[in-house]
Structure 1
Amino acid sequence: MINVSEQHAPRSLIVTLYGAYGRFMPGPVPVAELIRLLAALGVDAPSVRSSVSRLKRRGLLLPARTESGAAGYGLSAEARQLLEDGDRRIHPTAPAEDEGWVLAVFSVPESERQKRHVLRSRLARLGFGTAAPGVWIAPARLHEEAEHTLHRLKLDPYVDFFRGEHLGFAPTAEAVSRWWDLAAIAKEHERFLDVYAPVLHAWQQRPGTPPPEEAYRDYVLALDSWRRLPYTDPGLPAHLLPSGWPGVRSAEVFRGLHNRLRDAGARFAGL
C-alpha cells in the first residue's frame, strides 16, 4: 500500500478523482460522497470542502443537486475539456513517432509584461521546450491541447503557432537535449518508479480480484502522481532520447497499475 505524502495535495486528488471516476457517475457527485472517497485517501472533510471551494472559484466544479436533492458538484465544460486533453497524454494509444514540431512564438506588449511569465510557465507545463528566446517547441501532436489551454486563459492573442521539421545543423537528438532538460525529466520518471514499481510488483503477487477500497486507493494515488509526468515529459520518439530512457519503464508500470486496479477501484467509487 502506498503511503500518502505531501505531494498528494487535496485539490489535486479531487481533480484526479473526477478524471478517474467522478466524470462517469450519473449526475453530480454528492458532497458526502466526495468526503467519503477522499477520506479513503487520507484527506479530512474540511480539506475537501476548502479544496472544492477553490476549484469552484476556478470554474472547474459547478454546484448542482442530485436527483435526491443532495448538494453535489459536477464538472464545467472547461474541466471536461481539460480531462479529455489529459486522457491523450495519460493514456496514449501508440508510441510517440516523428510527426514534426509545433512552434509557439509570442509577443506581449510592455504594458502587459506580467503575461509573459504566465505564458512561459504555461507553455512549460504543457511540455514545450525552449528552442530560442521567445520560441517554444513541442511535438506537433501537442498543438491542439496548447491551443485549447491558451484560448481558455485568454492568452491566444499573443501567440502564433507554426508547424515544421527540424533542419538545423546539429542532429535533432542533440538539439532536443538543449530544448529540454532531459536529465531532470529522467529523474522524475525514476522517482515514480521508486514508489510505484514495488506497488505494481506487490499487486502482481496477489491472486484474484483486488479488494475494491485498496485498489481504489492505490490507483488514485498512482494516477495523481503519474498524470503530471506526461506534461513534464513531452513524449519524444525513442530515437531522440538517451539509451535506457526511464520513461519507457515508468509508462509500463503505470499501465500495469491501471489494468490491475482501475476497474476494481471503480466498485469502491460506486460505478
Structure 2
Amino acid sequence: MSAELTPIQQRLEDFRQQGRVQAGSLIVSVFGDAVMPRGSRIWLGSLIRLLEPLELNERLIRTSVFRLTKEEWLCSEPAGRRTDYLLAPAGQRRFAEASRHIYAARAPQWDRRWRLIMLVGELAGKPREQLKRALFWQGFGMLGSDCFVHPSVDLTNAFDALIADGLGELLGRLKPLIAADTPYGSAASDLDMVHAAWNLNDLAAMYASFVQRYQPVLAQLRADSEHALDEESAFLLRILLIHDYRRLLLRDPELPDVLLPGDWPGHQARQLCREIYHRLLPASERHLDRHFQLANGQTPEASPTVYARFGEVDPLG
C-alpha cells in the first residue's frame, strides 16, 4: 500500500490527473512569473523540459506556444537550429499590467470615483461578445446592457488593452467617463453599484476554495521548514500557485475594502499566496538556475526584483 501523499504532492498530482489541461493558460503563467524576470525569453526546448514533470507532453506545449504566438502574446526568434520564444509587445503590456495586480502587497487605495465605459449605439453579435469578454478580463462589471463599470482602472490603459486585443476598431463606439460624488441623498449608493455589477458570492466562493486548497500546503511548508523542499517541486508548486491565483484575479475587480464584507476571503487568499510564494522562491530559483536556457545555451540571471514581489513577509508566519 502506497504512503499517503503530502499536501504538496497532492496538489501536484491533482494537476497531473486533470482530464483536460489548458496548457496555453499555464504557459502564460510561466512566462509572467518565471520568464519575465530573466529577460522575457526562453528556448522552447527549455520550456518543454521545465513543464515535463507536470506531464504536459511536447506536442501539447508546442501547439500551445504556436497558438500564443498567433494571438500575439509571444513571438519567435530563431538561433541556429533552435528557437527562442519571447514576449511580443502586446504580451509585455499584458504581463506588466497583470504583474502589478498579482504581486501587490495590498489592494490599492480608492479615490471614491467610478470609471465608466459607455457603449454608444447598437453593437451585436460577435463584436459585442468580444468587447464584453475583454472588459470582464480587466475586471469591469456591467450596469444594464451598455455600461461597463470599474472602481479604479486607468481608462487609458483599458483602451490600450482593447487595442492589444484586436478591438481597436470599436473605440469609436465607446465613451470613457469618470463619475464624481453627488450631494443628493437619493443617488444610488456605492454598495448598490457593487451588487448590481458583480456577483460577489461567486467570487467569494472561488477565493474560499483557493484558501482550502493551499492552506494545507502552507502548513506543510511551515512544519517542514528545516527540511528543504526539493528544487523541482518548489518550482512546479510555485507555478501552480501563481497560475491558480492569477485566474482568480482575472475575475476580481479589486474592489476597495470599504465596498467589501469584513470577512472577505480575498484578503486571506492574498496573504496565503504571499507567504507560500516567499517560502518557495529560493529553491525554485535554484531550479531555474540549473534548467532555464536560451537557444544559445546561456542561462540569464533573474532580476533581483523577483524577491521584492508581494513586499516583505514574516518568514515565521
1:104 and 1:159 map into 2 onto residues whose CA distance is 6
Cα displacement (A) at 1:139? 1.5
Q: Deviations over 1:185-237 (max 9, x none)?
A: 11111121121121122112222444211110111001111102222111111
> Secondary structure at 1:170's aligned position in 2?
coil
5 Å-filtered alignment, 1:113-262, equals 113-152=125-164, 153=166, 154=168, 155-167=170-182, 169-208=187-226, 209-262=228-281
Identity of aligned residues (%): 24
Gaps of 5+ in 2: 1-7, 290-300, 302-317
Cα displacement (A) at 1:115? 1.0
2:163 and 2:60 map into 1 onto residues whose CA distance is 31
2:157 and 2:209 map into 1 onto residues whose CA distance is 26
8 Å CA contact 2:40–2:87 kept in 1: the answer is no
Please give the TM-score of this superposition, normalised by the length of structure 1: 0.90
2:236 and 2:154 map into 1 onto residues whose CA distance is 30
Q: How many residues align?
A: 269
8 Å CA contact 1:130–1:137 kept in 2: the answer is yes
Q: Deviations over 1:245-266 (max 9, x none)?
A: 1111111111112211134212
8 Å CA contact 1:97–1:236 kept in 2: the answer is no
Cα displacement (A) at 1:268? 1.4
8 Å CA contact 2:31–2:40 kept in 1: the answer is no
Cα displacement (A) at 1:38? 1.2
Q: Deviations over 1:22-53 (max 9, x none)?
A: 12335731121011111122211111111111
The alpha-carbon distance between structure 1 residues 210 and 200, as it changes in their structure 2 partners (threshold 3 A), is same
> Secondary structure at 2:27's aligned position in 1?
helix
Q: Quote the RMSD (CA, aligned, Å).
A: 2.2
The alpha-carbon distance between structure 1 residues 93 and 164, as it changes in their structure 2 partners (threshold 3 A), is farther
Q: Deviations over 1:101-159 (max 9, x none)?
A: 1101123555x753111111221221111123201110123434422211222232322
Q: Which has the higher contact order (CA 8 A, sep 6+)?
A: 2
Equivalent of 1:22, from 12, 35, 38?
Answer: 35
* One-letter amino acid of the structure 1 residue matched with residue 49 of structure 2: R
Please give the TM-score of this superposition, normalised by the length of structure 2: 0.78
8 Å CA contact 1:8–1:225 kept in 2: the answer is no
Structure number with larger C-alpha Rg: 2
Cα displacement (A) at 1:9? 1.6
